[in-house]
Chain A
Amino acid sequence: MTKRHDSPNYMAIFYWLFGLTVVEVAVVYMPLAKMLMIAMLVSLAVAKACLVAMYFMHLRFETRTLGLIAVTPPLLLVMFVLVTYPDTAWRLFTSWAAH
């Protein structure tokens, strides 16, 4: 057996996840501008996903290369979104301008 890291404080992570979920649901019922609300919800969700990956999946205690493997799919997703969305936005814009 190789050396084992000490377990992180799992209950603290749980309280964070629970608290952030409550904030998320509260944000939905707040009278906020749509873009601000989306920005807040996405950041909260990404924060929660990172907590799960770093502590529950122990990514924080793994080798750097394993971390690189783990961030590859999200990075590809961001690239995919950046490449395809301007196209959708442009088509929306031209159909709006035509009216």
Chain B
Amino acid sequence: MSQAAALEHGYEIEPAESPLTPESWGKLGMWLFLAGDAMSFGGLIAGYAALRFADANWPVPSTILGVPFTAVMTFLLICSSVTMVKGLEAIQHGDRGGLRKFLALTALGGACFLGMQAREWTHLITHGMTLTSKGLFSSTFFVLTGFHGCHVTAGVIYLLTVLANSSKYSEDNYNAVEIAGLYWHFVDLVWILIFTFVYLI
């Protein structure tokens, strides 16, 4: 209905609201998903902190877990975040080869992270640390790092699908790359917090 017709009928057309993410609705969708996912992680981290606070005999993590080893894992994930933004920057300038190279590097970084985490878990489990062996210390450890590891696994698959579709993207069509990047940086952000709360403190 035209505006003139609408006025004739005695009501006004409401002005369209400007969307929160003018580029694409997908980006808003990813942000809303991440806000929900942040609450899942937030609940786990707050629960972990409350359990630890209430337990006077909580072990010092650095005496059981390998801090230098996981510091390297943190470094890897930070590097993979940089390659992700570099990939986005490349496609924004129309450089599809650069996008492919950086996406592959990002997925590789994530895969190496997962390999190191598998190595760490294997080491701990063969040395007798299971979900219940050290009480809440080991249960919270495996639940928190495992939940995050699942996110990294999903992220690597996600990045590989973006890589497989990369022929579609150009300097005018890069929203899907940016949205995948949001997820990947979020996983990096959560690891920064887990590394501090579970390994360092």
Contacts and interface: CB of A to CB of B under 8 A. Distances in A.
Interface stretch (B4-12, B66-74, B110-118, B120-128): B66-74
Contact of A25 (B50, B197, B200): B200
Determine chain B's interface SS by DSSP, over half rule. helix
Contacts, number: 119
Contact of B196 (A24, A88, A91): A24
Nearest to B193: A45
A25 B70 CA distance: 10
B42 A52 contact: no
B84 interface: yes
Nearest to B49: A81
B14 interface: no
Contact of A21 (B32, B35, B39, B75): B75
Contacts of A92: 53-54, 56
B20 A63 contact: yes
Contacts of A28: 62, 67, 200
Interface in A66-91: 66, 69-70, 72-74, 76-77, 80-81, 84-85, 88-89, 91
Interface centre among B45, B56, B178, B195 (most CB of A within 10 A): B195
A16 to B, nearest CB: 10
16 contacts: A4-B92, A18-B75, A25-B71, A44-B196, A49-B189, A56-B181, A57-B182, A62-B20, A69-B31, A69-B32, A69-B35, A73-B42, A76-B42, A80-B42, A80-B46, A85-B50
Interface of A: 1-2, 4, 7, 10-11, 13-14, 17-18, 21, 24-25, 27-28, 37-38, 41-42, 44-45, 48-49, 52-53, 56-58, 62-63, 65-66, 69-70, 72-74, 76-77, 80-81, 84-85, 88-89, 91-92
Given A10-B86, A65-B20, A66-B31, 19 more contacts: A2-B22, A2-B23, A4-B92, A10-B82, A17-B78, A18-B78, A41-B200, A44-B196, A48-B192, A49-B189, A53-B189, A56-B185, A57-B185, A69-B35, A70-B34, A74-B38, A74-B42, A80-B42, A85-B50
